[in-house]
């Protein structure tokens, strides 16, 4: 038997289900990285005076009105802001609403813990919540 046929496929010492789970987790991480980049660009454009789609801006203003006067928090405010942008950009492609909420929370947490992005979020929230009241 040729050596290539005798070697297991996928990572050595791992079952097929472990390999599938690893692949699914890597895919999820890739999705999160792309979405985090998109959201960072959106936040950056709102703090640098660049144009943001009207639907996205209105969705974020709605969050501003909902929490007007409140100090920015990771959950629920930052998470809801992320979710509002994702809904505008991706719509119902997420499947169940719980999946969108979970992804939004993870992305918001990533943005929240990055000092540069956190500062932009705080600045953006101050303007958004004042302008939405």
Taking the whole predicted model, whether its pTM rises above 0.75 is answered as no
Walk along the chain (133 residues) and give the pLDDT tens digit of each residue.
444 444 333 444 444 444 444 444 455 556 666 666 666 666 655 555 555 678 888 999 999 999 998 999 999 999 999 999 888 888 877 778 888 899 899 989 999 999 988 998 999 999 888 876 6
11 by Cβ neighbours in 10 Å (0-12 / 13-18 / 19+) ranks as exposed
Those residues with Cβ within 8 angstroms of residue 79's Cβ, 6 or more apart along the chain or in another chain: 101, 104, 105, 108
pLDDT at position 64: 94
The continuous run of DSSP H or E covering 44 comes out as: helix 16-47
pLDDT at position 45: 55
- Alpha-carbon gap, residue 17 to 52, rounded angstroms: 42
> Mutual orientation of helices 115-132 and 54-66 as an angle, nearest 10°?
80
Cα torsion angle, 27, 29, 32, 37, sign: negative
Neighbours of 66 (CB within 10 A): 13
Contact 54, 131 (CB under 8 A): no
């Amino acid at each position: 038997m040729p050596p290539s046929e005798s070697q297991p496929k996928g990572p050595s010492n791992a079952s097929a289900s472990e390999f599938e789970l690893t692949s699914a987790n890597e895919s999820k991480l890739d999705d999160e990285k792309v979405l985090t980049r998109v959201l960072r660009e959106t936040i950056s454009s709102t703090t640098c005076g660049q144009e943001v789609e009207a639907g996205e801006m209105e969705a974020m203003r709605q969050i501003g009105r909902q929490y007007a006067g409140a100090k920015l928090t990771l959950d629920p405010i930052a998470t809801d802001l992320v979710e509002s942008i994702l809904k505008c950009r991706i719509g119902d492609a997420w499947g169940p609403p719980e999946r969108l909420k979970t992804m939004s929370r993870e992305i918001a947490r990533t943005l929240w813990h990055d000092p540069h992005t956190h500062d932009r979020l705080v600045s953006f929230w101050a303007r958004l919540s004042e302008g939405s009241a």
